[in-house]
Amino acid sequence: MATRAVITLPAGVKAGEAFEVRATVAHAMETGYRSSDAGTRLQRDLVRRFECRLDGELVFAADLFAAVSANPYLAFWLRAAASGELSFAWRGDNGFEHRETRALSVA
Amino acid sequence: MRAWPLLLLALAASAAEPDPRRSGRDTMSPALRTLQADDAQHPAQLALALGRELWGAGARSCAGCHGEPEALRGAATRYPAWDQGLLDLPGRIQRCRVRHQQQPAWAPEAEPLLALAALVAQQSRGLPLQPPRGAALDEAAARGRHLYTTRIGALNLSCAQCHDERAGLRLGGSLIPQGHVDDYPVYRLEWQDLGSLQRRLRGCLSGVRAGVRDWDSAELLALEVYLSRRSAGMVMQPPGVRP
């Protein structure tokens, strides 16, 4: 199954005014502490790092750990002076990487 | 003649009496209620996105026959149904997949199956459950009712003892809900995943240390038929969020 992410941005963003960004990515976030039904240890498989960039400049980042639920959901606030491109990147164990971009138009 | 006003009064009183049934979504914490009510926060949003992707995918897609998912508004209110056997909503999707798309059936609780079930169920938000009637369904409902009220398992408990007699009380730290089926499939935080009503029922069976019935077994489907009638008329808001 292709990796999926859902990103929610407000419809109208005003220059200099804070707006909320919500992002979630499909990921099991296996802690590495659980056992399977057969009794074997389930390998750790986590998203370790999330980054959001506006035209290449890092505007928000988060380090994720085993206590974060499946399909990690992050909501954060940004302020932008001008339109640009928001890029989102999730990286994790086993070479996991997922990227999304969204155009941000500032009125 | 004199009995008429009395009868009318009695009817008016019964109409005014509030429905004692309460959906599980109305008894959860405000935070969880917000999670279910806000689509941008809903933990099933990824599944719904996948469902929409699958809806139009393939040579014989769902969209090829049904058009937009929105065209199926109200469909989920009419399950379980009888069509050469008992079918719940995921069962109907499986049958469509095998018969009309000529694809192998998915495993029970497969991610794409739940995603499509959530997408179809979502179209019936705000509509009351209207389980269909018929001889075969009536018979299944009677069997389901019998299962619901029969003590089972090492704990020797029936469904009714918790969900009818002790609903609203607590089991450990958790509120015992009335066990209505108006929001399935649901995203349970405990599962960290979307799950069907059958998964929920199997969880309860194992909880009272009873033998866990097979997926799509006659017993689970009969229980589903009874439960849908028990919740008939309640407004659906699927997919739900549950603790």
A73 and B43 in contact by Cβ < 8 A?
Answer: yes
Q: Does B219 touch chain A (CB under 8 A)?
A: no
> How far B55 CA lies from chain A's nearest CA (Å)?
14
Q: Among the CATH numbers 2.60.40.10, 1.10.760.10, 2.60.120.260, 3.30.1390.20, which is that of A5-32+44-104?
A: 2.60.40.10
Q: What fold is seen in the domain B24-243?
A: Cytochrome Bc1 Complex; Chain D, domain 2 (1.10.760)
> How far B24 CA lies from chain A's nearest CA (Å)?
22
Question: Which whole-number Å values give the CA distances from A82 to A23, A49, A86, B62, in the listed order?
Answer: 21, 26, 12, 42
Per-residue pLDDT of chain B (243 residues; tens, 9 = 90+): 445 544 444 445 455 688 899 999 999 999 999 999 998 889 999 999 999 999 999 889 999 999 999 999 999 999 999 999 999 999 999 999 999 999 999 999 999 999 999 999 999 999 999 999 999 999 999 999 999 999 999 999 999 999 999 999 999 889 999 999 999 999 999 998 999 999 999 999 999 999 999 999 999 999 999 999 999 999 999 999 999
How many pairs of residues across A and B have Cβ atoms under 8 Å apart? 33
* Extents of the domains making up chain B: 24-243
Residues of A in contact with B50 (CB under 8 A): 1, 4, 26
Task: Report H helices in chain B.
Answer: 3-16, 24-27, 30-37, 45-55, 62-66, 89-99, 111-122, 135-149, 159-163, 197-207, 218-230
A6 and B41 in contact by Cβ < 8 A?
Answer: no
Nearest to A4 among B40, B41, B50 (CB): B50
pLDDT of residue B9: 47
A71 and B50 in contact by Cβ < 8 A?
Answer: no
The number of angstroms, rounded, from the C-alpha of A39 to the middle of its chain's C-alpha atoms is 32
Q: Does A31 touch chain B (CB under 8 A)?
A: no
* Extents of the domains making up chain A: 5-32+44-104
Q: Map tokens 């979504």 to a residue.
A: B25
Q: Does B206 touch chain A (CB under 8 A)?
A: no
> How far A96 CA lies from chain B's nearest CA (Å)?
18
Strand B240-242 and strand B186-188: pairing?
parallel
pLDDT of residue B231: 97
